[in-house]
Amino acid sequence: MVFNSYTFIVFFAIVLVLHNLPFSWKTKKINLLLASYIFYAAWNPPFILLLWLSTLVDYFVGKALYTQNNIHKRRVLLVISLIGNLGMLCFFKYGGFLMENFVDLVNAIGFNYHPPKPNIILPAGISFYTFTTLCYTIDMYKKESKPIPTLLDFSLFVTFFPHLVAGPIVRPPQLAAQFETPRTATRKQLLDGMFLVSLGLFMKVVLADGMLAASADAVFNTTKALTSLDAWMGVLAFTGQIFFDFAGYSICAMGAALSLGFTLPQNFQTPYAAIGFSDFWRRWHITLSAWLRDYLYIPLGGNRKGKFRTYINLMITMLLGGLWHGASWTFVAWGGLHGLYLWIEKFFEDRKKNKLIAQPLVRNPQTPATKTFPGIFYALLTFFLINITWVFFRATTFAGAGKILGAMAGMAQGAMPLLTSLAIAKIVVVITGMLILHWVLRNTKVIDAAYKLPWWITGTVWSAMLILLILSQESSSAFIYFQF
């Protein structure tokens, strides 16, 4: 079931009604849990068994980890959780990828080995709920938070339908604690939640699918030579599409949860207004960035073991972050390119720090201000380089990525125009508007910005979004991040 479907509208209306009826809190939680299973089963019912298995194993292992004092037994319990979760993730998401690369390697050294291709179906959202349950057992191992008291609360924490399939990736203190006491939305929460759901759907249906997706698909799927203009427009279209698609899902998730009285962590904060790549990863897919930092980068040693190890840890984190997104070497290259950008950024930051140490009389060094020309220049440079990375994210092969990059550099010969003037105009208007809004709202939440405006302006914008949603052609395409 996808948010951008009539089925979800009916489903959500029923969930809202049941949640606001005078049932006991335990009954309401059971209703939410059953609703979450129905939401997930709409894709492929048998995969609920994997969800149940992951839930049961991690609930009981997590409880044992917290109470067990024998370090050897605690390590065994942690290994059980890691094998269970990462084993399922590796089989379903990377089984075909690993087999394909193994066959290529074996044949490259002289063996004639051609086994049948495995027919493995990827369960929706397995990367997201695997990371959710993993952070619970790791936290229990470190005793950084208390166990979730009941299996019902833990099951709801894992499967709560707004975040289940594509995040945000939540941690126990962020959500599980909210299940301990009765919750229904206040009038303000319900209004804010409905506004966020409308905004998220508008971003997905009208902007991502209606204005940008067709142009991005045309450019990345064509077998013909591309003009430089078409290549750039196609990449910019995907740059906007993936933001509006994924941020739209996250905003819908936050809005749906808020309408029921729950709060989910923010997952995006105007990422295309980032000044530098560290800043970008503090703004893009915030919950994944924080997960990789806390459960991968820091355990690897972070920046505590010297400069060389810091650079290695950064690259390992970004390479695995790229692989998390998909079982393809192009995703690894995407992560590696971001790692390279972070390397370069850190190199210049370290040089700047060394100069300041050598000149102790220099006080309060100023970083590029966000509202000045240097800040705008660095933000546009960051945005330009991010567009390069999206080529590897969207292209299915390195040959396809090379073709796009070559065309962007003006190296294509004999290319004919592909996109229409109307398509190009849509891309220019949407991307320009997106960048302006990102800059204006750089450090402001959408809801806060809405409340700063006069009520009639907010009402007019909301009404316009709803009208455009109604007038748009029905969009039932899955969100891009469902495949991860």
Residues serving a catalytic function are 325
Q: Which residue has the tokens 């910005």?
A: 449
Assigned token pair, 320: 């695995």
Assigned token pair, 419: 């996109």
Asked whether 441 and 371 are in contact (CB, 8 A), the reply is no
How many whole angstroms separate alpha carbon 243 and alpha carbon 241?
5
φ, ψ (nearest 5 deg) of residue 252: -60, -45
Asked whether 390 and 242 are in contact (CB, 8 A), the reply is yes
Compute CA 226 distance to the chain's CA centroid, rounded to the nearest angstrom: 30
Nearby residues of 360 by Cβ (< 8 Å), 6 or more positions away: none
Q: Which long-range contacts (CB under 8 A, 24 or more apart) does 347-351 make?
A: 350/307
Q: Which of 290, 211, 196, 184 is nearest to 250 (CA)?
A: 196
How crowded is residue 156: how many other Cβ atoms within 10 Å of its Cβ? 22
How many whole angstroms separate alpha carbon 431 and alpha carbon 239?
9
Cα–Cα distances (Å) from 384 to 125, 214, 315, 357, 381, in that order, read 30, 22, 21, 32, 5
Q: Which of 286, 274, 290 is nearest to 443 (CA)?
A: 274
User: Can you tell me whether residue 184 is helix, strand or coil?
Assistant: coil
Q: Which of 216, 266, 218 is nearest to 242 (CA)?
A: 216
Q: Return the sign of the alpha-carbon dihedral for residues 165, 484, 439, 201.
A: negative
Radius of gyration of the chain (CA): 24
244, 250, 252, 258: CA torsion to nearest 10: -150
Tell me the one-letter amino acid at 60: F
